[in-house]
Structure 1
Amino acid sequence: MSGGAANGGVLRVGNCSGFYGDRFSAVREMLTGGPLDVLTGDYLAELTMLVLGRDRLKDPSLGYAKTFLRQMEDTLGLAHARGVRVVANAGGLDPAGLAGALRDLAGRLGVPVRVAHVEGDRLPLPAGALTANAYLGGAGIAACLDAGADVVVTGRVTDAALVTGPAAARFGWAPGDHDPLAGAVVAGHVLECGTQATGGNHPFFRRYDVRRPGFPVAELHPDGSAVITKHPGTGGAVDVATVTAQLLYETSGARYAGPDVTARLDTVRLTQEGPDRVRIDGVRGEAPPPALKAGITRLGGWRNEVVFVLTGLDVDAKARLVEEQVEDGFARAGTRPADVRWELARTDRADAATEETASALLRLVVRDPDPEAVGRAVTGAAVELALGSYPGFHVTAPPGRGAPYGVFEAVYVEPGTVTHTAVLPDGRRVPVPHPAATRPLAPVPEPPLPPPLPPGPTRRAPLGLVAGARSGDKGGDANVGVWAETDEAWRWLAHTLTADRLRDLLPETRPLPVARHVLPRLRALNFTVAGLLGEGAAARARFDPQAKALGEWLRARHLDIPEVLL
């Protein structure tokens, strides 16, 4: 791969998608906004695999991200004219099908691009599974680029593989080059969620113009170091805080494992190099773990939801009444769903000036293997109350028949059961060997903490006045990364926010295992809350099924903060 020679050996990799459904115009914006060597797009989340699996049940010819094909119809000629290679995991469950569609598209448009794809991630389906895919690394992408591909599409690869593949191809890294590969993994993790690296979803969003943030770019160097930036004139910002937030997103301990390498997040060093330029260096890598992570999705059953609106006085009594009435309706029908959950959100205010702000929401969520149990039974139990329940009875929407929900499960498989294959532009199929050297994962001992702040006056205040946070999901577990922006705040945070204190601040986590990981170079703590999300985001068992706002809830909690920090 020869890209990057014109800019002093630097490989410029941009991102144009953080999920299936991201900004459609981002491909064109990234191609026209500034110089690039490679444009990547991440279209696959755990939930997306379930969506694509359900698509294939309806039509076996489906299974890839159709949006990507439409984006290429608009921009394939532009990418070719500018010499930008495109690497995306939009192939989903059918990368060969997407590659064929791209060749047909290129023929219709008269654009002479060479298309390749990576496959081999599909696993034999366990009983009852809808999809089963291993997470592959970037070596197959590198093989396709080395063979001259202009466009490479993949199935399930790690998000960071979209960057490690092009970097390994450009710089000739071998599987044992753990440190540079780890640097590329970190850069790839920063890029993978698009505008989350440029101020999107940021706890300190008021600092930035995030009305339309630009997508990020990584300038990668042969030693694996990188500078995160964005195209000139685009919205948002790139600073240490935006990069820190994305680094902590959906990670856990100091070892960030993948099929290419295990990156040591406790070695990452961030430096503000200039406006909208953050250097990442110092990253150390280790051999990848011996097993490959795989994701299995299933249809878990059927789900329904009703939200009752409770207005004015006696909200708690109204909630008790409707719960008793619905439960009585289940009993009389002889069909109670297997899982019944009630949640009262006190969104009401006393002496409210509008009806909406005088109202609370009582949410009923039911799940069952039988669609009848969540359909007619729930509809009847709720609708029959319309004229005989609490005063002001109404719901946000009429209850429907219910819908299927999915379940995600993470498992680990032997690499020998997976045939990682690069299908080159000329059709040759090249097996991609797994790294020969591996290293079992082990926890990193907690490093020494900085000295605590000296005693002094405190004030009761929200944690978010002195700390940032970002949270997300990994299957049924939630991750919350918390960081301080000054050394003084870090001295206080490191000693104050223990796993037990987190449980106190977030009572929903009290019965669950909570692990704390310390990352001193980032002045950060990363917490993993096991089982908070039940069977995962697709099951939608929780109000915030992907834990996206868990960090903001934590920042809103009050505790005694030293006045010197405030």
Structure 2
Amino acid sequence: MGSQVNGSERGLRPVRIANCSGGQMEPGWQMRKQASLGPVDFITGDWLAENNLAQEQAAIVAGTGEGFKKNAWEALQLSMDVIAEKKIKVIIDGGGLNPQALAEHCQELSDAKGYGLTCAFVSGDNMVGQVKKTLKSTGALPTTFQDINTKAHKSKAELGFGEDDVLACNAYIGARGIVKGLEAGADIIICGRVADASPVIGAAWWWYGWSDTDFDRLAGAFLAGHLIECSAYASGSNFSGFHRFPLERFIDSGFPIAEINRDGTCVITKHPGTNGMVTEETVKCQLLYEIQGNMYLNSDVTAYLDDAKVEQIATDRVRVSGIRGAPPPPTTKLAIYYKGGFESQNLSNAAGYATRKKYKLYEMQIRARMAEEKLDDKFTVLDFQVVGSDKKNPYRQLECTTYFRIFAQAAAPEPLSALKLLLADETMQHFSGLHWSQDLRTADPKSFYVYYPCIVSQDEIKEAVHILAPAGKDGKITIAQTLECTRPPLYEPIPPRESYNTRNLIDLAALGKTVDMPLGNIALGRSGDKGSNINCGLFVDRPDVYDWFRTFLTIDKMKELIGGDWKEDEYRLERVEFPHIFAVHFVIYGILGRGVSSSTLLDNRGKGFTDYVRTKHIPVPEKFVPYTWVEDDESDLQ
């Protein structure tokens, strides 16, 4: 069955939008699967993360890339015949720093194969020229660029980087160019740094002919985009309750599809016969992933999630509603990426007896040699970390093996090379039983990039969509039409972010006796990175359990659960509730340091944070024990 995006069905039934990618490594054949396995009207794909654009610029400089994501181009090459046959429209952000080049490649392929498709690209997000020019001429960022946390306008001295260090600078733009491109007849629209959900918002906006002030509807589409933009995260992957099901269920999970209704509500589903699952729990986990609290910002709309509802209506079909919309903020996020220097990781292992003293001795030996070599002040970061905890009375050696991670950063590669050599010099003076893995390449210096988050006025962005013409007689692709985009007609200043303990306290003592068990026995959840911050959402599955849960899980209790990783003087915690999905949500500000690309944490994207918290033992009322489950049985590993 083919799709009818240009036919009489448009606007008369829910629009079916299938996502095929949630990250830069996503293989191209996932797009073909989404196009082939059932009827869809649109395919969207998200290939960009906060560090990808810096990587693309480095590849351009090295002569190894054109600025767009190679896997996105692979996906289009593998799928364009099906896309053309079924009249599916495609909107992706895989254009990276050079959406024009990828759009031209697509137009060339369509022309060569006789597919008759019209390709387009969106511009306006790339502001690197303005940044470099202003840094050079004034010694500061443009006056309209403000630090996302302090709202300060900073000079080069305050920033710690100059025009020669800047690799990329991109604003997170919305769906306005996408909508104009669809109105002009584009079949494939290539974007750069649009916000992750913008392709889905644009598809639904055009399908129904919404106004740009239909904020409730736009907010619903925004959340639908959020739910499906991370590959199979809504349909079985990264699911904290996976251990309660046959593991085979999660091999090659089908990617999600959003069926968006005219009112902005949606049903999350997937193609029949694919693996994985779409349940209330998988959708709640994704809803709570990488959000900003109860207020979720986009360039076209602000979505308020307080009253979000998630309801299973059939097998692999989950309805999501209750999202309230408001005008977008007058500013949007602006990501500046600059050269941070060089970094390395030196990894060594220890097994069993007296492990902590072994690592203490090793650090003392290394620091003594560094002092002799006058390396003490040559690093911007030098962190000694013990990863793992050895099992007492182990059955096999790996159960009591941990590793020592020396994470180092410096402005130049020489101190890192010197550190590697220093460690080699100490090879035979190590503690009892030290051993390494076969691959020692992590100890070699490699460049890293720093993400500096800013905000910029939306009115400063010059967004446009460019419709390509078929190749001329000379084989060249030209722009047939450029359509400039208006800015949002209405803004609403960002109100102070909410943070509170529950307003519906119950008497915990009145619940009676408790049983000590892992938090994860009664609560599911998910976490992820938001720049230098981690978000963490946890939920239970019954209203009576939720009354206890939200009373118990206070701001101070979360700090206690974070344990030794909490730094009172450096971090800040926000807490809100989502009562209709029985969830409590936290944002831990500052815990990722300078963010994913340069965080010292092993879990530098915060993906494992929720499962760390869920393994902490808490007192659960005995009356709720029948509603708990147990963590996976590891006896089959012995």
**TM-score when normalising by structure 1:** 0.96
Secondary structure of 2:545's aligned partner: helix
The equivalences for 1:316-327 within 5 A come to 316-327=356-367
Comparing 83-92 with 339-348, which one deviates more in the overlay? 339-348
Equivalent position amino acid for 1:420 in 2: E
CA contact (8 A) 1:406 1:539 kept: yes
* Contact 2:28–2:78 (Cα < 8 Å) also in 1: no
- Count of aligned positions: 565
Corresponding residue number in structure 1 for 2:94: 90
Which of 497, 500, 504 does residue 449 from structure 1 map onto? 504
Q: Tell me the distance in 1 between the aligned counterparts of 2:8 and 2:265.
A: 15
TM-score between both structures, scaled by the size of structure 2 = 0.86
Unaligned runs of 5+ in 1: none
CA displacement at 1:444 relative to structure 2: 4.3
Q: 479, 482, 501: which is aligned to 2:538? A: 482
Stretch moving more, 477-486 or 66-75: 66-75
Indicate yes or no: 2:425 matched with 1:379: no
Instruction: Give runs of aligned pairs for residues 45-84 of structure 1, distance below 5 A.
Output: 45-59=49-63, 62-84=66-88
Q: How does 1:185-264 map to 2 (within 5 A)?
A: 185-208=222-245, 209-264=249-304
Asked if 2 retains the 8 angstrom alpha-carbon contact of 1:15 and 1:191, the reply is yes
Matches of 1:449 and 1:226, distance apart in 2: 30
Aligned counterparts, 1:139-538, within 5 A: 139-208=176-245, 209-336=249-376, 337-375=379-417, 377-396=418-437, 397-398=439-440, 400-426=443-469, 427-442=480-495, 443-444=497-498, 446=500, 448-449=503-504, 451=506, 454-507=510-563, 508-511=565-568, 512-538=571-597
Q: Supply the AA of the counterpart residue of 2:230.
A: C
Distance 2:388 2:324 in 1: 48
User: Post-superposition shift, 1:341?
Assistant: 0.5
The letter of the residue matching 1:489 is V
CA shift, 1:343, in A, is 0.9
Give 1:121's aligned residue. 125
Closer, same or farther: CA 383–495 of 1 in aligned 2, 3 Å: same
Looking at structure 2, the residues matched to 386 and 506 of structure 1 have their Cα atoms a distance apart, in angstroms, of 36
Q: State the secondary structure of the residue aligned to 1:100.
A: helix
Offset, 1:206: 2.6
2:608 to 529, 549, 564: 549
Structure 1 pair 452–226 and aligned structure 2 pair: CA distance change class (3 A): farther
Counterpart secondary structure, 1:229: strand
CA distances 1:389-414 after superposition (whole Å, capped 9, x unpaired): 21223222436431111211211001
With 412-421 and 6-15 compared, the bigger mean Cα shift is at: 6-15
**1:2 aligned residue:** 6
Which residue of 1 is the match for residue 137 of structure 2?
Answer: none
Distance 1:473 1:168 in 2: 28
Q: In the superposition, relative to structure 1, how do residues 398 and 269 fare at CA in structure 2: closer, same or farther (>3 Å)?
A: closer
Instruction: Measure the CA separation in 2 of the matches of 1:331 and 1:144.
Output: 61
Gaps of 5+ in 2: 133-162, 470-479, 626-638
2:511 partner SS:
coil
Q: 1:240 deviation in Å?
A: 1.1
CA-to-aligned-CA distance 1:504-545 (integer Å, 9 cap, x gap):
111212422111111112211111111110111111410100
Query: Take 1:10 and 1:423, find their aligned partners in 2: how far apart are those partners?
Result: 28
How far apart, in 1, do the equivalents of 2:117 and 2:615 lie?
51
Deviations along 1:425-479, one digit per CA (max 9) or x if unpaired, are 4421111111120001113475743645632110111101111110000111111
Measure, in 1, the Cα distance between the counterparts of 2:339 and 2:307: 40
| Deviation of 1:6 (Å) | 7.0
Q: Which amino acid aligns with 1:500?
A: D
What CA distance in whole angstroms lies between the structure 2 residues aligned with 1:522 and 1:455? Answer: 22
Q: For the residues of structure 2 that align with 1:28 and 1:244, how far apart are their CA atoms?
A: 27
Match of 1:17 in 2: 21
Task: Provide the secondary structure at the position in 2 that maps to 1:356.
Answer: helix
Residues 287 and 438 of structure 1 are in contact (CA less than 8 Å); yes or no, is this contact kept in structure 2?
A: yes
Partners of 2:404 and 2:71 lie apart in 1 by 37
Bigger Cα displacement from structure 2, 515-524 vs 31-40? 515-524
Q: 1:302 to 1:4 in 2, by over 3 A?
A: farther
Residue deviations 1:31-74, cap 9 Å, x none? 11110000111111112222212212212861101111122112
Contact 1:306 1:395 survives alignment (8 Å): no
Task: Please report how far the alpha carbon of residue 18 of structure 1 lies from its aligned counterpart in structure 2 after TM superposition.
Answer: 0.7
